[in-house]
A and B are shown apart, each in its own frame.
Chain A
Amino acid sequence: MIRFENVGMRYGMGPEILRDISFDLHAGSFHFLTGPSGAGKTTLLKLLYLAHSPSRGLIHFHGKNVVTAHRSELPALRRRIGIVFQDFQLIDHMTSIENVSLPLKLAGGNVKQVEDHAAELLEWVGLKDKMNARPSTLSGGEKQRVAIARAVINRPDLLLADEPTGNVDPQMAERIMNLFLELNKIGTTTIIATHDQQLVKTMNADRFHLEEGKLALLKAKGALKAPALQKANPVPQGGAT
């Protein structure tokens, strides 16, 4: 589904942050992205969610070369990607439900159906009573959950999450990871950038490891495991795809 070919990335005239990155990401795969701070994880995620174009190399998304694609072709591809930003990036003047609904509205979804589905998702992440709260009144963990609900509302083909469990308690972290696994089971390709070695070990997933701009794929032995201390609620089924 995604192919990187000899991708290099530098900002301006600075040093190359990523060097000769090549990999194939198959539909429905689940990967962690690990590496020390400053290794280039966020830059790689930015290339994956089409925020930047690489300095060199090719990136194919669903067979389309996004490096040479016209900018008018990119929004449709971006709508197939769900992103959980490390700093949440919620829109401050919007309520939780408005923030969660936004990707579906941008995709042209029916407003009523969109908000119904957003409400269902917010209820699932335990924020039923915070639907009309603005981000400034939410805790870090609550913002994280709103950001996750926003990322998954349009059933993305590719889900990218930057430290998605960094601001939530262990129980909520498990629920979030189970949500990601549920989405992965129904075909969503998932990449989760994390520093949480325990989480990586527990789930036994394949791992991309970045160090000094170089990417290595570390294959897991055995099957992917859910960190299921408790059974996750089923993923809400409504909404646009």
Chain B
Amino acid sequence: MKFLRPVQFLPSGSEGSGLMPWVIAVMVFLLTLSAAFGMMLRNATGDWTASLSHTLTVQIVDTDVQERQRQQQAAVAALITTPGIIDATPMQQNEVFALLEPWLGTGNLTDELPVPAMISVTLNPDYTQNIDALRARVQAVAPGARLDDHQQWVGQVVTLSRAAELSAATVALLIAIATIILVIFATQARLSSWRDTVYLVHLLGAEDRVIAGEFQLRFFKWGLKGGLIGFALGCLVLWAFGSLANDMADGLIPMLSLSGWQFILLAFLPFLSALLSMVSANITVQRTLSQRI
């Protein structure tokens, strides 16, 4: 640590640390959560769009049940023979009812309800499908067919997700800036409280970097201590959130999770906070000394 603090002239130990590590802990806690949620959202959006980008849904809308079923079979036959389509599966009525139940309520769905016949289509990801041509091909045999490639929905979700990610990144940036400002104020307060001693060592020939070293090591330690506490609390909250999300109805919300490298990235936050505190303290001391002494 001698390279961080060439000469010790302030009291050692935690004397005078005050609430600084705890303030940094709060900041790193918030930073961990905002960064983690930003990354989780990015992962979830990626998974979701990937799962929807190679599927199509075909709805057959016709009030006549017989005609609806006939068009469904004709559309399936047309789809399955189209290049680039891996699978076209007609959905059973009970499957369609199951999709509608959350909105219409259990027991409210009857055979008289003109529910469209549906076909779930899986596309070959390596094949570029011309949706307009496919739509024309299907509608030639099933005039009541409507193709939905989810692009509008996916586009809106991706836009919303990107906005949320940007918000999370902005929050993380603001927290980092607030931490730097806090460290600057704390450093100036410490410099004021040790003004006489700092002035004396300055007269005894201490270079600015030596005086800054005495402060930077303290702030490095406080930053690391606060960072580790904040990160641990953040992990605890993320774990609790993950457990709650897992317990919720599958499919209603996308799975929020972090990959291994993302967690490693988050684990650097305590060290980043220590480094940020150290550098901020060093620059503050050197600037203050050059202005006041």
Instruction: Count B-side interface residues using an 8 Å CB cutoff.
Output: 18
A94 at the interface (CB under 8 A from B): yes
Tell me which residues across on chain A come within 8 A of B290, comparing CB atoms. Answer: 71
Tell me the nearest residue of chain B to A109, going by C-beta.
B7
Contact of B201 among A71, A83, A102 (CB under 8 A): A102
* Cα of A108 to Cα of B208 in the assembled complex, Å: 14
Per-position binary interface string of chain A over residues 90-118, scored 1 when its CB falls under 8 Å from any chain B CB and 0 otherwise:
01011000000011011110000000000
Per-position binary interface string of chain A over residues 73-94, scored 1 when its CB falls under 8 Å from any chain B CB and 0 otherwise:
0011011010100000101011
Tell me which residues across on chain A come within 8 A of B210, comparing CB atoms. Answer: 106
B248 at the interface (CB under 8 A from A): no
Contact across chains for A75 and B197 when beta carbons are under 8 A apart: no
Given A71-B290, A91-B200: A79 and B9 within 8 A (CB)? no
A23 at the interface (CB under 8 A from B): no
* Cα of A89 to Cα of B199 in the assembled complex, Å: 10
Contact across chains for A79 and B204 when beta carbons are under 8 A apart: yes
Per-position binary interface string of chain A over residues 131-143, scored 1 when its CB falls under 8 Å from any chain B CB and 0 otherwise:
0000000000000
* Cα of A50 to Cα of B202 in the assembled complex, Å: 10
A-B contact count (CB 8 A): 45
Tell me which residues across on chain A come within 8 A of B196, comparing CB atoms. Answer: 89
Given A91-B9, A94-B9: A83 and B207 within 8 A (CB)? no
* Cα of A89 to Cα of B202 in the assembled complex, Å: 12
B18 at the interface (CB under 8 A from A): no
Tell me which residues across on chain B come within 8 A of A81, comparing CB atoms. Answer: 205
B11 at the interface (CB under 8 A from A): yes
Residues on A facing B (Cβ under 8 Å): 49-51, 71-72, 75-76, 78-79, 81, 83, 89, 91, 93-94, 102-103, 105-108
Q: Would you list 27 pairs from A and B whose C-beta atoms are within 8 A, ordered by A residue?
A: A49-B203, A71-B208, A71-B290, A72-B207, A72-B208, A75-B205, A75-B206, A78-B202, A78-B205, A79-B204, A79-B205, A81-B205, A83-B203, A83-B204, A91-B9, A91-B197, A93-B10, A94-B9, A102-B9, A102-B201, A103-B205, A105-B7, A106-B7, A106-B204, A106-B206, A106-B210, A108-B6
